[in-house]
Structure 1
């Protein structure tokens, strides 16, 4: 069964609409983790701050990922603002990531899919590939994107540079901690955001890996419902558990490779 046949069998369009509560959750889900991690780092409790920094990175990724697909439930400006602010706090141009992610959906795991390059590697190769992955995300945007993407990327990179310069020049330790942890997270993106959900799926790229298990998905903020996302990219992350239930009910025979 191909991609189009699958999407015709599952009701999904009603899941695009967010309630006010759901919209507030999707647009602010990263903030508690962000402020708690910064507060603990400010107090010098860096080890205690680490898990909160990790959860910030994951929830911020969820937030901007919804922004890529216009699934935050807000208008264009607020979506742009969310992506811009998270660019600074995640020390990566999110518009560059968006450009490559949209191409990833269009050319999934083909030669034109620069985001998906690490999917064909071994797990340790994907980890080592991380720094090159982040460099290529920006370089490919510079080479192939339209003027609007390039303008946003350059603006974000300048803003990030100012943020990093201020933190290091004035030796603001808790911000330096945050910047270093975010760099570390970005270097692991090729493994966690690509390899874990796409390895050994090249025979049918749009049937990506997924995750079942209540606590596993709670702890990962539903970010590993990746098969569901590839089949129905317009569905916001908060609705993916319900979408997964519909897919399981309508297509119980579908081979669902687990993420972990």
Structure 2
């Protein structure tokens, strides 16, 4: 119904990577950027389940006005953790990675393996014609909002078409089938409580905001240079509330750095950004 907008042939966005941007190798910085304490990894992994429990308690106590805020934080924690898992920076082996992608994504009625494929493709082909994840950044705000309901289904379809590994295809099929089963279970459970259905509905509708939150805003008005393809927002409160996902440029340059260390990475990159005339956006 709504087509993703491709870049005009007269203006092709340059590739965004550490090498194309002329940035130093990660090894030239201190090696602490890849180090995360065990308790920090456990805490990050527990946050999606914790906010899910808070949602259940808030609904049971009749705190309905708090549910959108709780759901927002649930999505933030889930996306932040899935980012680390998808990039292999969550400290998990291959078997655990498959299971975590499955469990965490199904809880928000999505496919973790589809996310990993389209997200890694987005990093390798940022804002190119076949970058469906980043496509909303090539259009306007209205486009990013209108394509919301179709965004994730199109990413799932693209992943199913392009993923060749049979194991990953089986995981993806299991994720989508499980998400559908959970939605049907929530509908069936309304005879006892409407809470699960409210959660499922908010999770599904929340996915409509992905084009705005994960593509349009992080890549707002991409320019003609590699470092102008993503944005970075600096501050003490907003980045912390969004689990450092506001350091999007830093994440694209060094995707192997865990999200918990992106703030520290940003400080190391400040002199390099300044030398290239890049001014980060300052927020609270």
TM-score range, shorter chain: over 0.9
Q: TM-score, normalised by structure 1?
A: 0.92
Structure 2 partner of 1:242: 264
Secondary structure of the corresponding residue to residue 234 of structure 1? coil
Moved over 4 A (4+): none
Secondary structure of the corresponding residue to residue 221 of structure 1? coil
Does the CA-based 8 Å contact 1:104-1:115 persist in structure 2?
A: yes
**Aligned mates of 1:38, 1:244 — CA distance in 2:** 36
Does the CA-based 8 Å contact 2:273-2:279 persist in structure 1?
A: no
Relative to structure 1, the CA distance from residue 159 to residue 58 in structure 2 (aligned partners, 3 Å threshold; closer, same or farther) is same
Which one of 22, 33, 55 corresponds to residue 73 of structure 2? 55
Q: CA deviation at 1:213?
A: 0.9
Structure 2 partner of 1:252: 274
Q: TM-score, normalised by structure 2?
A: 0.85
Gaps in structure 2 of 5+ consecutive residues: 1-15
Gaps in structure 1 of 5+ consecutive residues: none
Q: Which range moved further: 14-23 or 135-144? A: 14-23
Aligned residues: 260
Post-superposition Cα deviations, 1:167-213, rounded to whole Å, max 9, x if no partner, equal 10221411111111111211000010000011222523565101111
Does the CA-based 8 Å contact 1:68-1:98 persist in structure 2?
A: yes
Cα RMSD (Å) = 2.1
Secondary structure of the corresponding residue to residue 6 of structure 1? coil
Structure 2 partner of 1:232: 254
Q: CA deviation at 1:133?
A: 1.3
Does the CA-based 8 Å contact 1:91-1:183 persist in structure 2?
A: yes
Larger Rg: 2
Q: Which has the higher helix share?
A: 1
Secondary structure of the corresponding residue to residue 235 of structure 1? coil
Relative to structure 1, the CA distance from residue 232 to residue 25 in structure 2 (aligned partners, 3 Å threshold; closer, same or farther) is same
Q: CA deviation at 1:157?
A: 0.8
